[in-house]
Structures are given as structure tokens and as C-alpha cells.
Amino acid sequence: MDFLKTITGKVAAGIVALAVIVGGISWWQMDPSTRHTLASGTGRITAWFGIVLLLPWASFFVITRTSRFETNLAGALLVFAYTLVEVLLLLWLFNWSVPGAAAWTFVLLGALVAAVYNLFTCDWIAEKLA
């Protein structure tokens, strides 16, 4: 069994190394405008993820106050409000421009990820701090 783990590990490491090499060559061959577009988009998405991760923790007092209502509707409205603010922020970061089906798919996927994260985080904060 150790033999299979060793072979699998080497194959996986080889695939990762190949992907890094191909990615580096692709980046090097790219024209500067495409490279700038990718870098700025990645920076915006990273900033958005950071805000999504921090918003419930930075406003824990709102979550604890909402949990005192002891109703699911109040919690659902709070999670919806957080998610709506985060999706609007994402659209604003990209100048309110969503040019196509693939971009809309990523926006909707981001909204889903933000909503699930907000749900679990708000629930945990309400359970531990309220």
C-alpha cells in the first residue's frame, strides 16, 4: 500500500509542477494588457472575498442583537442583507458591468458562496455570543 501512496504522490507532484510551469510560460507569453486585466480582476476578487469573510465578524453586535428576536425571519433577513450588500459591492468593484453568461455565472456563484458563508457564520456567532 505504501508503494501506491508513493506513486500517487509523485504523480500528483508532477501534475502540480507541470501546471505551474505551463502557467508561468502562459503568463510570460501574455501581452501586457491581458496580464493587467487578469491581475486587476484577481485583486478585486481577493478584496471582495476578504470583505465577505470579515463583514459578519466586524458586525457581530448586529448578529447578537438580531438573535435576541428569537425568530428565523430576523436571521434570514440579516443573512439576506449581508449577502445583498456583498453582491452589490462585487458589482461595484467591476463597474456594474457583467458582460456575458460566464460573468453572470461567476457573480451568482459568488452570491451563493457569500450567502452560505454568511448563514453559517451568523449562526455560529449567534449561538456562541448571544
Q: Are residues 64 and 26 in the same domain?
A: no
CA distance 10 to 12: 5
Same domain? For 107 and 53 the reply is yes
Q: In this structure, is residue 55 part of a structural domain? A: yes
**Domain check: are 17 and 47 in the same one?**
no
Comparison of pLDDT for 103 and 3, the residue scoring more: 103
Whether 125 is in a domain gets the answer yes
pLDDT tens profile 66-104: 999 988 999 999 999 999 999 999 999 988 988 889 889
* Domain, as residue range, for 20: 1-30
Q: Is 90 exceeded by the pLDDT of residue 107?
A: yes
Cα–Cα distance, 14 to 9 (Å, whole number): 8
| Tally of structural domains, the chain | 2
The answer to whether 114 touches 56, Cβ cutoff 8 Å, is no
Q: Residue 124: inside a domain, yes or no?
A: yes
The verdict on 90 and 117 lying in the same domain is: yes
In this predicted structure, the answer to whether residue 27 has a pLDDT above a threshold of 90 is no
Q: What is the pLDDT of residues 32-70, one digit of tens each?
A: 888 887 778 888 999 999 999 999 999 999 999 999 998
